[in-house]
Amino acid sequence: MTPRQKTIGSKRVTIIDVAQRAGVDPSVVSRVINNDDRLRIKADTRERVVAAVRALDYRPNAAARTLRTSKVGAIGLFIPDFANPVYSEIIAGAEAAASLAGCVVVTGTDEVVGRSEQTYLDLLGSGRVDGVLLAGGSLKKSEQARFEAAAMPYLFVNRRDRDGSRYVVLDDNRAAQVAVRHLLDLGHRSIAMIGGPSGADTARRRRQGYLAAMKKSGEGAESLLMASADYTPSGGFAAFNEIAESSARPTAVFVANFALAIGALKAAERRGIRIPEDLSVVAVHDLALAEYLYPALTTVQMPLRELGARAVELLMAHGRTDQIQDTVREPMRLVERESTAAPR
């Protein structure tokens, strides 16, 4: 209840109370409050409704208002980790597109909320947002059913749902191939991969791109060295050590995520492995921070802001039952820095 919301007895004022005071049907009150230009009532009836609203200090419940108008002016964005700088770019793009549409973006993460997307929605309150963008975490079938039962539009961002019906993704397969081709062009043939968690859709697509590029180079899958980890610096640190302790001796490593690459560079430093003299490293995603790592990190620049903006546009332009299958492909380019060089 808002600070100045009046009550009748101990009960919160409702639209029914306003209707009874004005002597009209509750639907008339709703249409007056929402300025429905199709409503045809006498001027004095409208004045009675407005007077009743003021007298009772009635304020529409946000959830109920959403169900009627679907125009709260807010979009929820769920991400797995605020600390991952990749998501700050997606958020920036989403906010820019939402601002142009006169909306705001409300962000949340399972690390803060403590559980899942559904908990995040529960905290927002049913109907307090016009739709939800899901950029991280896992969504159970039961939770997805609750979205649909609540008539809550949602869209997966850079991951695909189980039935593949509502998503917008990046071309992760191509990004991995761009990175690996760069290493191949430098003369590397023994190229390892540090990938994301096995269950992540992005990790699968980047792995497919790595395998495709290596296959084109003539390298058999049985000779490839791959390690998987969570998309975190600590994950990259552990995965790099796993590769370094293997019997294989790669001359280059393709890293599937910027945060992983930060941990990989630290692990290399701890082991006395010189980058790029002993080992070249290239990663997916380019951020301003890449220039200031040691050594400066070679990356594949991905359209992260464009992805965030496109997600907002698609969510607002389509109905909640429409099929949405989109891929943001450009701009994508290799940003060559100090972490890659020809093998010795």
Domain at 97, CATH number:
3.40.50.2300
pLDDT (average), residues 166-191: 95
Among the listed ranges 149-163, 169-183, 228-242, 271-285, which one has the minimum average pLDDT value? 149-163
249, pLDDT greater than 90: no
336 domain residue, yes or no: no
| Residue 331 preceded by cis peptide, ω within 30 | yes
Claim to verify: residue 15 and residue 43 sit in the same structural domain? yes
C-alpha 58/C-alpha 171 separation (Å) is 50
238 in a domain, yes or no? yes
Burial of 273 (0-12, 13-18, 19+ CB in 10 A): middle
Does 177 share its domain with 285? yes
Average pLDDT, integer, range 17-35? 79
* Residue 36: CATH number of its domain: 1.10.260.40
DSSP for 158-174? SS--TT--EEEEE-HHH
| pLDDT value for 203 | 92
Q: State whether 144 and 33 are in the same domain.
A: no
* Mean pLDDT for the stretch of residues 299-309: 93
Q: pLDDT averaged over the chain?
A: 82
pLDDT at 32: 80
Higher confidence at residue 219 or residue 82?
82
Structure tokens given for 247: 């019997």
Pick 69 or 16 by higher pLDDT.
16
| pLDDT tens-place string over residues 103-131 | 888 887 765 544 555 555 555 545 577 78
Count of domains observed in the chain: 3
214 found inside a domain: yes
Residues 50 and 79 in one domain: no
Distance CA 227, CA 239 (A): 6
Do residues 189 and 241 share a domain?
yes
H/E run at residue 191: strand 191-195
Domain check: are 113 and 230 in the same one?
no
Residue 343 lies in a domain: no
**Per the omega criterion (within 30 degrees of 0), is the bond before 153 cis?**
no
Residue 218, amino acid: G
320 token code pair: 């909640």
Q: Is residue 339 part of a domain?
A: no
State residue 164's pLDDT score: 67
Q: Provide the domain limits for residue 46.
A: 7-60
Q: Is residue 344 part of a domain?
A: no
Average confidence (pLDDT) over 316-325: 83
Q: In the chain, how many H helices and how many E strands?
A: 13, 14
Give the count of beta carbons closer than 10 Å to the beta carbon of residue 342: 13
Residue 341, in any domain of the structure: no
Q: What average pLDDT does range 74-84 have in this prediction?
A: 81
pLDDT digits (tens, 9 = 90+) for 153-169: 888 998 886 666 889 99
State yes or no: pLDDT of 333 exceeds 50. yes
Give the Cα-Cα-Cα angle 344, 211, 179 (nearest 5 degrees).
55
Q: Are residues 176 and 298 in the same domain?
A: yes
How many other C-beta atoms are found inside a 10 Å radius of the C-beta of residue 96? 14
Phi and psi, residue 316, nearest 5° = -80, -25
Tell me how far apart the alpha carbons of residues 259 and 233 are, in angstroms, rounded to a whole number. Answer: 5
In the chain, what percentage of residues exceed pLDDT 70?
Answer: 78
296, 261 contact by CB (below 8 A): no
238 and 298 fall within a common domain: yes
179 and 265 fall within a common domain: yes
Nearest C-alpha neighbor of 193 from the set 131, 149, 135, 236: 236
327 vs 99, residue with greater confidence: 327
Q: What is the pTM (predicted TM-score) of this model?
A: 0.72
User: Is residue 193 located within the same domain as residue 161?
Assistant: no
Asked if residue 2 is part of any domain, the answer here is: no
Nearest to 166 by CA among 151, 152, 154: 154
pLDDT category, 143, cuts 50, 70, 90? low
The predicted pLDDT at position 19 comes to 82
Q: Give yes or no: residues 123 and 195 share one domain.
A: no
Residue 190 confidence (pLDDT): 92
Instruction: Kindly state whether residues 166 and 309 are assigned to the same domain.
Output: yes
**Among residues 84, 66, 82, which one has the least CA distance to residue 74?**
66
